[in-house]
Amino acid sequence: MLVMENTEVSQVTVIVNGERRAVEVDNRTSVLDLLRERLGLTGSKKGCDHGQCGACTVLIDGRRANSCLALAVAHDGADIKTVEGLADGTGLHPLQEAFVRHDAFQCGYCTPGQLCSAAGMLAEAGPSAVTEDLTADPLLTPGEIHERMSGNLCRCGAYVNIVKAIMTVAAPGGGPA
């Protein structure tokens, strides 16, 4: 059993965008606030702090998650990728490029979450709530993308372009993802 010394703060090590970060955290600190307030990574956004908007979406151990609901202390050892880490150092990730080219954002506040969510989503095989045949992995049609991205609210209403941008990355020549 892992006991964090029964105090209200804990030593936590996370790997953020490939870099090992060891910090002492208040147990109440979310991964989101750890990133934004302690590690200087303000790319991930706080929109609601209750898992209802998706602006805080990051990849935790490769899967998209709402970092506002993830306690840092419960993610000791986790591999976290944020929008700042999507590109591999030089240039932009294809999703980032597609978002710029297709004007898939306006105010930009939901955008990091949209990007991390899209990156996570593209790696998720399997059906969604709109998939007719559960037994086969579906084609990533616009309808599938609309549903899969519904955990990311955009008040500026950039959805039409967001889906277009994701489609160009998911199926650059058309066809299954």
Partner 1 sequence: MRAFSYVRAGSPAEAVSQYRPGAAYLGGGTNLVDLMRLGVAAPDHIVDVTRATSDTITEGGDGELRVGAGVRNSDLANHPAVRERYPMLARAVLTGASGQIRNMATVGGNLLQRTRCPYFQDVTMACNKRTPGSGCQAAEPGAETGNMAILGHSPSCVATHPSDMAVALTALGARVLVAGPDGERRVEMPGLHRLPEGRPDLDTVLDPGELITAIELPSPPPGRSTYRKVRERASFAFALVSLAAALDIGGDGQVRDCRLALGGVAHAPWRAHAAERAVLGLPASRETFTGAADEELRAARPLPGTEYKVTLARNLIVSVLEELSR
Partner 2 sequence: MTRVEGPEKVTGAAKYAFEYPVPDAVYGCPVLAAVSSGRLRSFDTADALAMPGVLAVLGGVTTRPFGTENFELALFTSDEITYRGQLVGLAVADTLENARAAAASVRVGYEPAPHDAVLRADHPGLYRPEKINPALPTDTGYGDVAAGLAAAAARVDVTYTTPVQHNNPMEPHAAIAAWDEAGALTVWDSTQGPSADRDTIAATLGLPPEQVRVISPHVGGGFGSKGTTRPHAILAALAARETGRPVKVALTRQQMFMLTGHRTPTIQRLELGATADGRLTAVAHDVIEHTALRTEFAEQTAACTRMMYGTPAMRTTHRLVRLNVPAPSWMRAPGETPGMYALESAMDELAAALGMDPVELRVRNDPDAEPDSGLPFSSRNLVACLRQGADRFGWHAGGGRDPRPGVRKRGRWLAGTGVAASTYPARRRPSTATADALDGGFVVRIAAADIGTGARTALGRIAASVLDVAPARVRVELGDSALPAAPLAGGSMGTASWGSAVAVACEALLKDGSHGRADTADDVAQDSGFARHSFGAQFAEVLVDPLTGEVRVPRLLGVFAAGRIIDPQLARSQFIGGMTMGLGMALMEATAVDAAAGCFVGLDLAQYHVATCADVQDIEAFWIDEQDAHLWPGDGKGIGEIGITGTAAAIGNAVYHATGHRVRDLPITPAKLLHPG
Contact 120, 166 (CB under 8 A): no
CA distance 10 to 102: 43
The footprint of partner 2 (CB under 8 A) covers 26, 28-29, 33, 36-37, 40-50, 52-53, 55, 82-84, 86-87, 92, 96, 99-101, 103, 105-112, 115, 130, 145-147, 149-150, 152-163
Query: What whole-number distance in Å separates Cα of residue 26 and Cα of residue 93?
Result: 33
CA-wise closest residue to 130 among 154, 146, 112, 106: 146
Please, what is the minimum distance in Å from the beta carbon of residue 35 to partner 1?
15
Nearest approach in angstroms of CB 1 to partner 2 is: 25
The least distance separating partner 1 from the CB of residue 151, rounded to whole angstroms, comes to: 2
Q: At closest approach, how far in Å is the CB of 78 from partner 1? A: 12
Q: Which residue's CB is nearer to partner 2, number 40 or number 174?
A: 40
* Measured CA distances, 25 to 9, 69, 79, 124, 134 (Å): 5, 15, 17, 31, 42
- Residue placing its CB nearer to partner 2 in the complex, 36 or 75: 36
Beta-carbon contacts of 172 under 8 Å, excluding residues fewer than 6 positions away, are none
> Which CB, 63 or 101, lies closer to partner 1?
63
